[in-house]
Structure 1
Amino acid sequence: MVLVEKRLVFAIYNVIKFPANVDGFGKDWSLVAPIKDGIFWTYRAVFTRDGFLGVDGPNFDFVLLCREIVETALQTQQAYRMSLLVPRRELNRGYVALLVLNCWSTALVHSFFRNHATQRRLLALICDCVLDLVSSVGITTVLVAMYIPDFEFKTYGFPLLLLLVRVNMTNGEIPIGLHADDFPQSLEDIEFCVTNLRSLPEDLDLKWPQYASIYIEASQFLDVPQSLVRLAPFDLSLSLNPISTIPKELFESESVAYLNFGGTLISELPENVSKLSSSMTDINLSGTNVSFFWLSNHTSDKRRRHTLLRGYQTYF
């Protein structure tokens, strides 16, 4: 500790010289002394309270500004990634609000305490520490707290399956709880089998997970819901539904790998498919009236054509 102008300052050791147990180290070694002196003067010029990075240094405000710019750029990228990966609108907005507050806090502190350098720097550091703590620890804690109710402590994991078999739904629509804003994004398999389901909400693509297996089989759909087309799930099955047409977007979307329309009323495929998705792995048209398939126009690999198409019990 040193006392300067009746102000108490803490340092890891005396900023004027090395501590006694270090000062005598290397006196007998000619090669060590220059290195020790170099380390001492580097530390003295950079890290002491009146050094380049010191709180009383002449470049404190400039260094703080540069650090804030870098920090804001990194946090902006993090906010963008959160908006894509975290399905919580309030949490994303809260993080953006913290980011804006962090940007303006430094300017406000400098504006109100322009004539008090010590208080200005102290408050700038305190505000920065508090906001950084909230953004790095607080946001993470809130996110964990949101997922705790869905966590299965018996299996030490989150639910992965949603299976509804032989279920009669009111008005042929899925219940509100199955398309809520907090619908579990960890589900990997969503299946409805032998139901009276005939419609899906328009905003379902914003709530259901895309990289999941979605099977809605033996139900009452007359066409493919547009929300499912926009969702373009990884694995989609609408077999045994009275569907007569398939949207071309399902064949073009790079997120779709498996399609199953077996046992439907389909007699032909969309002719205006510009390019078959490179991620497409399997197309099942078993039990349909499809007699022509344009797969040869979109891929020259015969092995891939045989792997893609399954059409037994068809005119093809």
Structure 2
Amino acid sequence: MKKRGLVFAVYNVFTWPTRLTSIGSKRQSGASVKQKMRCLYRAVFARDGCLGVDGPNFDLIILCREIVETALQTQQAYRMSLLLPRAVINRGYVALLVLNCWSTALVHSSFKSNARKRRLLALICDCVLDLVSSVGISTALVFIYAQDFDWKTNNFPSLKWYEDVWFVHARSEFKVLLVSSWTDLAMRVVFSVSMLSNLNNMKKLMSARPSRRKSDFNARHRVTAVAPFRASLIDSKLFASWHNTRPNAVKYAVAKLTELLFLSWGLAVLALHLHAGSVRNLPQCMMQVKPWGSSQPSCSLLVLDCHQTEIAGSTEEVTEQWSAFDPTTVVRVVVRHCPELQLPPRLTEFSQLDALKMYNTTIVSWEDSAALTQSHHPKIKTLFLVRVNMTDGALPIGLQADDFPQALQDIEFCVTNLRSLPDDLELKWPQYASIYLEASQLVEVPASLVRLAPYDLSLSLNPISTLPAELFERDSVGYLSFGGTFISQLPETVTEISPTRLRINLSGTNVSFFWAWLDPRLKTLEPPEHPPLNAANTPYCRDLQRIFEGEQTSFSVIPPASEDGMELSLLSNASVENWVNLKRAVSCEDDLPTTWYPIEFEDQYSRIP
């Protein structure tokens, strides 16, 4: 000891040392693997462990986690500025994000000497924003849309999807409400796990710290060896460097840097939000989003109302209306009350276009330079032409591009002067789509329309008197509507009926009988299934009603083939034993609209104020 060559060295504070070569001790440890794992867990995750709330590294852990979470929350705020037109939700979230950044700096500045309070307040602020990020925004949107949800049908009312404002809101906000990508899922998981971890750490900080028993202390902390100290084992330069460091100065610098970082972060987010909010509003943009960093107005819902703006709809007038905003932000375009509409090439710049609707408009010119194409409009899904007149009743050139958008699966015309379709339309329009050409001037079913094989086809209120058999033989056909047409019978011969669960609407026609080729489809019906035929307000249903009431015993009109001794169709058999099949196959309830497009609703929604 006089030579200062003896030192008390703690080699192992968790278990008995297995080997001390420096002093020749060879005592073997009797601890099991389970005990070692328990000791390791306590050393790392216990309250006073390396990562515990009372541990020496917890402030650094909080700092790193807050930087990561604030970065993710900033990205979410930017994403909300791109998607959500509701200013209240955007402002509320940005306000919380800015307050969280500033509260972090304030907490670290105000509670330098009190580690427990500093950590507790930092966790509370972080937990509040995690709660809003993970469930707060989604809960607010759920409450908004719960008012419109129909709990009886477990769906939104069908008319809601035709409301322009509601549709654009839903299209954008459902991307925030629902998980839209793996990245979105990962971010939500991070916020949720962080919130649960914060709650657990807050519970530990607010609870009394358990006292450590003396025996336990002595059992786990013991001096395991006394060995001579050799100064040569320590590099003199390293020792001198360690001796001259000032930990307090380093901690002070880190604390100041942290405060400055989060204070600047909050100011940057606030500045971006205020700059986005200062972008001017445009009257033709019924719904605008405010993306960060954009100097041009962003227009989610673009409405061109020629009556309101007092224009006719010429190319120059429309171009002027459509040149004051960023065209890549347009999601839905609505054109109303234009007596002489000429669509400009500017339409091709709407690369994010999802839906195009025209109401009470006369299309004078829609040339190839403004056509809907896959290269310019890859995301468009819906096309509505309602109360629209076209030149000579022909389909505009702008809807006949060879590069027609293949995502456009919903094409609805209602109350138009359309008289014909191009012969090569099946080479341009997408197959298996929903196509409504209602209340128009088609006198026959175009052959190109049959070859398109739409899954959902409505030709109601057209002056059509005959139907091609090929229309019923397509594998893809699911729903057909010919209500209000001039037909008196279905095709006489159909070689092979569509194997799908075909449904046909014939309400308001002159149909008085059905052919036997429908029988194979009727024999596969199951009791809960809705009747595949609707013949309300037809001679057939009038006969059927009198048969059920006992006023007559047979149908007034029998298929001609049955008169020659051929097998009688199930739908022509009026016997009491067959009533079950008749009720299962044919509906005479007048519960279907005249047109599948809600024309009455549209007239009310888009009327001139």
Bigger relative contact order (CA 8 A; separation at least 6): 2
* Structure of higher CA gyration radius: 2
